Structure 1
Amino acid sequence: MSTTRDGRLALPERRPLLTIAGVVGACVVLGAAGGLITAPQIETWYATLDKPGFTPPSWVFGPVWTLLYALQGVAAWLIWRSGLDRRIVRLALGLFTVQFVCNLAWSPAFFGLESPILGLVVIVPLWIVIVATVVAFSRVDWRAAALLVPYLAWVSFATALNYAIWTLN
């Protein structure tokens, strides 16, 4: 990456498909890291928990999360492409990073430590930061904000599921 004459960070103009693939790929790969903690617990600890009737089958989570991480990658790419020299873009990407870290912390809290209450301690702030990220993204590019809406909906559902599992166990 280079800089412009006035010192601003210049974004790559020549390879947008390569850069979007890189950002999406990074989000999907980093997001899949949680699966390494989750997978061994699905058939052992998680299988023993009482779950509410609205619990989806375990096989649903992998494809849904893969799609959501890909959408997050596209959204972050759209924001990044709008210019890192703008304060709102830096704020939006900062919030995106915070929510992504919170997202990655949920699997170790819930599955790794086998603790639905710790899962709630992580997922509630995650939900709040996702809302803040959607708002910040909407101020830069409405398409990026719209791409995060399914993620917000899924985390809302996951919060209700996490709460129900905690109360049932």
Structure 2
Amino acid sequence: MAADVVSERRVVLPSAADTTELGRDIGTRLGPGDLVVLAGPLGAGKTCLAAGIGEGLGVEGPITSPTFVIAREHPPLPEPLGGRGVVLVHVDAYRLGVGTGDPDPRDVAAQLDDLDLDTDLTRAAVVVEWGEGVAEHLASEHLLVRLDRSGADETREAHLQGPARLVAP
């Protein structure tokens, strides 16, 4: 896949439904070989965004946090039901030490490599929660989505950075 122009965009997400909708929009643009890295604190909406990505890809769900299994594969739905033929591999790097202190990024990257995600990228779109700083090496280009919460309400802000074809509204 040829490298694309890097682009950035910020999106205000007043509700969880808006976060899911952003994910759905991103998912409609993903194909095999695409890597999405999700970053943000606990409760920022990473899994909600991943669920939307799964909807946009048209994969079997439900898309839930793979924290305890680390990686979960979602096959595509049949085409008449909205499937696009792209598998989703949803990874949560939190238990690899990313969210639990100050891990050595090389150790986390080695553990991600043990999951053979680079092989998955030949046939799937891969979404890695808690992947910033450790998962980017899995592909020549990636979409980074940083999510933040502001205030006590549900409002979040997403900062997208990556290939223009994945960032553009």
Structure holding more strand per residue: 2
Higher RCO, Cα 8 Å, sep 6+: 2
Structure holding more helix per residue: 1
Select the structure of larger CA radius of gyration.
1
